[in-house]
Amino acid sequence: MTAAAPEITVAPTRETDSGHLRFDALTKRFTGRSGTVTAVDSVTLDIRPGEFITLLGPSGCGKTTTLRMAAGFEDASSGSILLDGRAIDAMPPQRRPMAMVFQSYALFPHMTVSENIAYGMRLQRRTRDDIDTSMRMALTSMNLVGLEDRSPHELSGGQQQRVALARALVVQPKVLLFDEPLSNLDAKLRDAMRAEIRRIQKMFGITSLYVTHDQDEAMSMSDRIVVMNKGRVEQAATPGEIYARPASVFVADFIGRANFLEAVPERVVDGRGTVTVLGRRLTVAAHPKVSAKVDGAYLMVRPETARLSAVTDGGTGIGAVLRSTFHGATIDYEVETTGGTVTVTEAGVDPRHALTEGTNVDVTFDPDRAYLLTRD
């Protein structure tokens, strides 16, 4: 997707007030034979210039529909999209100062690398000198020098993805849109391309909206992650905040792995709640909705923040090892307790010294890294 933007410099910098994207109560409904389905439900989101935002969630959560509305490929049922304070709802896709990087690369098979990259600039009627200058910069920044005359079928998946990104960048968009661009790559190449995309995005300072269902991608690339569920935003926050202080059980369960232990808050003061779990009394950080009046809550404990110790001298502990799974760098233990099965992850353990199934153990939690949530 290209835009008839005015001529600007090709240096990899942007004005700090350019590329401010905002969704105001954005809603999309689809009507079919079975009735009306709300795919996106009153999404309000403010994306700052130069920010890298990832829309993350399971299939059907509304993230791709939201991206398509930003691109102009879908019309909103209600709400508005603003770019730098100007409503762009009525603007057709080709006139929006945005560029899309697709999952399928969408390269023209009959064009060379250089012709693919130059395509959008030619639509903008840029001068030959400007096209040549932008081309050299794109080839260099994308590590594509020497591949100018190759056809797409002669390139690896990673090289094709870099061509697609170069083609999007050279039209000098205010916003870059990414539709699961790495899903067709193998795991090792995907990791390398994550770092490459983030490096290029930071270098050019372009506001970016990225869609994925891969939480590792979201955690490693984003300034903020927007977790979506059933068309709504569950939480929009930094990766660290979402992981350590999720807004709901859904977010905690979707991002990473977590144990959820039933608990009844005894008291909640200044954002900290006191609970008794597995026979131990803990005071931990609590979600603002948690109070001593709620019927029940969950203590969220990430597996890597729990600790195991074998019980000796005939002690019974609070549980027994149900099974252990060796992952190379870590070992996962599933421990059967009176409060249910608890997963504990330990790093750097010699597998020869791993606890065996049936071993009686104590399980302890770091209260500074646990979090009290209301039940969804």
pLDDT in tens, 30-61: 998 889 999 999 999 999 999 999 999 999 99
251 within some domain: no
| DSSP letters for 282-330 | EEEEE-TT--TTSS-EEEEE-GGGEEEEE--TT---SEEEEEEEE-SSE
Task: Tally the C-alpha atoms within 13 A of residue 261's C-alpha that lie toward its C-beta.
Answer: 31
Answer whether 372's CB lies under 8 Å from 265's CB: yes
DSSP class of residue 231 equals T
Are 345 and 228 members of one domain? no
Are 56 and 111 members of one domain? yes
Are 337 and 229 members of one domain? no
335-359 pLDDT per residue, tens: 999 889 999 999 988 888 899 999 9
10 within some domain: no
Q: At which of 207, 223, 244 does a domain end?
A: 244
Predicted pLDDT at 141: 81
Residue 1 has pLDDT above 70, yes or no: no
Integer Cα distance of 245 and 316 in angstroms: 33
The DSSP H or E segment spanning 6 is none
Q: In this structure, how many other beta carbons lie within 10 angstroms of the beta carbon of residue 117?
A: 28
Structure tokens, 57: 């969630």
Residue 5 has pLDDT above 80, yes or no: no
Beta bridge partners, 98, equal: 175
Mean pLDDT computed over every residue of the chain: 89
Angle at 169 between CA 58 and CA 59, to 5 degrees: 10
165 within some domain: yes
Specify the CATH number for the domain of residue 54. Answer: 3.40.50.300
Q: Among 100-114, 235-249, 279-293, name the most confident range.
A: 235-249
DSSP class of residue 146 equals T
Structure tokens, 158: 């990673």
15 within some domain: no
Integer Cα distance of 364 and 280 in angstroms: 9
Answer whether 35's CB lies under 8 Å from 49's CB: no
42 within some domain: yes
218-238 pLDDT per residue, tens: 999 999 999 999 999 999 999
Q: What are phi and psi of 303, to 5 degrees?
A: -55, -35
Predicted pLDDT at 350: 87
Predicted pLDDT at 297: 92
Predicted pLDDT at 16: 53
Answer whether 223's CB lies under 8 Å from 256's CB: no
Answer whether 318's CB lies under 8 Å from 364's CB: no
Integer Cα distance of 129 and 141 in angstroms: 18
Residues 6+ apart with CB under 8 A from 67: 55, 177, 179, 209, 211
Q: In this structure, how many other beta carbons lie within 10 angstroms of the beta carbon of residue 82?
A: 15
Residue type, 87: A
128 burial type by CB count under 10 A (0-12 exposed, 13-18 middle, 19+ buried):
exposed
For 11, the 3-state DSSP assignment is coil
Are 276 and 365 members of one domain? yes
Specify the CATH number for the domain of residue 344. Answer: 2.40.50.140
320 within some domain: yes
Are 164 and 213 members of one domain? yes
96 within some domain: yes
Q: Kindly indicate the confidence band of residue 2, based on its pLDDT and cuts at 50, 70 and 90.
A: very low
In the block, residue with structure tokens 């005359």: 149
Are 312 and 219 members of one domain? no
Are 187 and 324 members of one domain? no
Alpha helices of 21-175 — where are they, by DSSP H? Answer: 63-71, 113-123, 128-141, 157-169
Are 97 and 219 members of one domain? yes
Integer Cα distance of 24 and 19 in angstroms: 16
Q: At which of 189, 216, 244 does a domain end?
A: 244
Integer Cα distance of 252 and 373 in angstroms: 9
Answer whether 104's CB lies under 8 Å from 131's CB: no
How many distinct structural domains can be found in the chain?
2
Are 215 and 269 members of one domain? no
Residues 6+ apart with CB under 8 A from 346: 308, 330, 331, 333
Are 231 and 282 members of one domain? no
pTM: 0.87
Q: In this structure, how many other beta carbons lie within 10 angstroms of the beta carbon of residue 210?
A: 28
Note down the domain range covering 264: 257-374
Residue type, 368: D
Integer Cα distance of 368 and 375 in angstroms: 21
Are 151 and 283 members of one domain? no
Residue 173 has pLDDT above 80, yes or no: yes
In the block, residue with structure tokens 């502990």: 317
Angle at 164 between CA 74 and CA 72, to 5 degrees: 15
Q: At which of 244, 266, 288 does a domain end?
A: 244
Are 134 and 200 members of one domain? yes
237 within some domain: yes
Predicted pLDDT at 191: 86
In the block, residue with structure tokens 């603007």: 91
DSSP class of residue 372 equals E
